[in-house]
């Protein structure tokens, strides 16, 4: 599993997987292969027991690559062929960001749940349409927030918080640098109107983490900013952004997102999360421990009993995917609520929209 390029980073659980359904019970298809996160999303669903049926993309070469990795997938002839398949429960997608909402609304209208790469929508108009469609269809429009649900260090941190090891979470700081790899990026990536912009895109990950770890049901953007420091060839692109929030339970968060991972780093980004509670603190070193180890999922806990280091890889699993499948089957909201998903995107959109341009 390579860690140098975040666009194609696709975690595979290294321990005993948690399968929640038998083969052939929960069926899904894939539409849109424009971002490599679709491989991570597919891995997670398969590991939890979902059955992959078919795939469609307008680019035959992308479909060919997907089917080499997942030979059980049948190549569909069109989007409509998949939407009209009555056996399918779910459609997963990493289609171009500016097409994600349109596709999602079609999926819900065909009585299927939708699992889409972040950012799952790009405008407040999109957000309103999705809220209405979810209410009218009673179907799920879920977004892949991989920086939490597909990181065992984050899964362990959530467990420690729920166990009360740090008391009540009062503050968080999140640092989320990413490797740009500009030469491999498609043209739409550099256009905020098509990609969403840095705070809508990778910022949505950080906001979702804050809401989850703090237990917040709402939050206010106190400050956000963005700029283009080092990409003059793409003047509308922002390669750096920051945001500060305060939650309805008084917990606060500052996060920074950027595209400045140095070439010499052995991972696509040194993702770090600092969580301060009333009785302890946690640091997550997600993808490596700089200068010490290339291992992922290093969790540091300081509590009333002392200082602790945990190496979470292979120990926690990616519990979201199994919970999500069961939510789709049982119409429950265990993995996360629909409101939580849309709140994270609403705040990301607001942060992008209100950002001071430096």
The residues with which 144 forms a beta bridge, in sequence order, are 117
Structure tokens at 202: 């990778």
For helices 338-354 and 124-137, angle between their N-to-C axes, nearest 10 degrees: 170
Structure tokens at 56: 């469609």
- Is 15 in contact with 33 (CB distance < 8 Å)? no
Residue 224's pLDDT is what?
98
Which domains are seen in the chain, by residue range? 6-144+321-333 (3.40.50.720), 148-319+349-357 (3.30.360.10)
Residue 6's pLDDT is what?
58
Q: Is 46 left (phi over 0), alpha (psi -120 to 50) or beta?
A: alpha
CA triple 235-240-243, angle to 5 deg? 130
CA distance 12 to 39: 10
Residue 197's pLDDT is what?
97
Q: What are phi and psi of 125, to 5 degrees?
A: -65, -45
Residues 6+ apart with CB under 8 A from 221: 243, 244, 245, 347, 350, 351, 354
pTM for this prediction: 0.95
The residues with which 141 forms a beta bridge, in sequence order, are 114
For the chain, which residues score pLDDT lower than 70?
A: 1-10, 13, 15
- Is 33 in contact with 56 (CB distance < 8 Å)? no
């Amino acid at each position: 599993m390579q860690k140098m390029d975040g666009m194609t980073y696709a975690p595979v659980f290294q321990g005993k997987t948690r399968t929640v359904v038998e083969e052939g019970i929960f069926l899904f298809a894939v539409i849109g292969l424009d971002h490599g996160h679709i491989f991570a999303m597919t891995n997670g669903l398969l590991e939890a027991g979902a059955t992959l049926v078919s795939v469609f993309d307008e680019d035959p070469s992308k479909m060919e690559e997907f089917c080499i990795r997942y030979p059980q997938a049948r190549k569909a002839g069109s989007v409509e062929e998949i939407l009209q398949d009555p056996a399918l429960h779910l459609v997963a997608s990493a289609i171009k960001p500016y097409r994600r909402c349109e596709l999602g609304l079609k999926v819900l209208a065909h009585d299927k749940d939708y699992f889409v790469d972040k950012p799952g929508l790009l405008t407040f108009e999109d957000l309103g349409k999705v809220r209405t469609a979810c209410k009218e269809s009673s179907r799920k429009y879920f977004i892949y927030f991989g920086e939490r649900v597909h990181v065992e260090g984050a899964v362990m941190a959530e467990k420690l918080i729920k166990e009360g090891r740090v008391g009540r979470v009062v503050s968080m700081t999140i640092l989320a640098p990413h490797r740009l790899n500009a030469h491999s990026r498609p043209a739409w990536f550099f256009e905020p109107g098509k990609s969403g912009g840095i705070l809508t895109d990778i910022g949505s990950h950080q906001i979702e983490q804050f809401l989850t770890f703090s237990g917040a049901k709402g939050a206010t953007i106190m400050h956000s900013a963005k700029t283009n420091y080092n990409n003059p060839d793409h003047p509308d692109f922002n390669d750096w952004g920051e945001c500060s929030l305060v939650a309805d339970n008084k917990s606060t968060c500052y996060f920074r997102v950027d595209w400045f991972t140095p070439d010499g780093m052995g991972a696509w980004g040194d993702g770090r999360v600092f969580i301060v509670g009333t009785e302890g603190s946690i640091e997550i070193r997600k993808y490596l421990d700089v200068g010490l180890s290339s291992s992922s999922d290093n969790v540091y806990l300081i509590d009333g009993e002392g200082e602790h280091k945990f190496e979470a890889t292979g120990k926690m699993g990616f519990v979201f995917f199994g919970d999500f499948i069961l939510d789709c089957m049982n119409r429950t909201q265990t993995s996360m609520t629909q409101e939580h998903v849309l709140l994270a995107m609403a705040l990301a959109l607001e942060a992008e929209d209100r950002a001071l341009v430096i």
